[in-house]
Amino acid sequence: MSDYQLIILTGPSGAGKSSLANKLLRRDNINRCVTCTTRMPRENEEEGIDYFFLTGVEFSESMENNKFVEYSFHYGNWYGVRLSDIENSLRESHTLITLNWRGASALERKIQNSHVIYIEPPSVEILEKRLQDRGCYDRINYACEDMAQAKLFSHRVINDDLDEAYSSLLAIAENIV
């Protein structure tokens, strides 16, 4: 590929991955790798910016043709990362991607120059409150299981305060890139 680095943010729903990723993406030297999903776009999400929104048939065809380096089914939808999207992004700049812990582990093993940073909430109770506030009751059990995987990753950031968490994330990212 290139000398550019792949930064993978992972952690449970409600940990603040998207908020931290958006702050990190304001830097000139890091771009986002857009992933694919079969879920419907949320308000303000744009095709090719937030996700590539695929139909079930399109996603299945991509799986059958080995287009994905990683994919999974959760929360009632398919999510996947096309190797071509990672390679294209890494040709241009350091690249950031957010994935669940399984996808992060898979990419770390498969992609040279990749680094996983696990974003975690300060406690299970705070995570549950964040998810309840977002109306994501169905994600609480999975998120708690996800938190048990934090020990798999060498870089970890506790998101108790967004600005402090960003400072920690930035220090790790600057060490990587």
Q: What is the DSSP letter of 47?
A: B
Tens of pLDDT, residue by residue over 91-119, are 999 999 999 899 999 999 999 899 999 99
What kind of fold does domain 6-176 have according to CATH? Rossmann fold (3.40.50)
Tell me what pLDDT residue 28 has.
83
For 78-89, write each residue's pLDDT tens digit.
999 999 999 999
> Binning pLDDT at 50, 70 and 90, where does residue 31 land?
very high
Chain center to CA of 18: 8
Q: What is the mean pLDDT of residues 154-161?
A: 94
Measured between alpha carbons, how far is 64 from 70 in angstroms, rounded to an integer?
13
Q: What is the spatial distance between Cα 150 and Cα 143, in angstroms, rounded to a whole number?
A: 11
Q: What letter would DSSP give residue 137?
A: G
Domain range summary for the chain, segments of one domain joined by +:
6-176
The answer to whether residue 136 scores a pLDDT higher than 80 is: no
Do residues 170 and 25 touch, judged by C-beta distance below 8 A? no
The count of other CB atoms within 10 Å of the CB of residue 32 is: 17
CA dist 174 and 177 (Å) reads 5
Rounded CA separation 104/27 (Å): 22
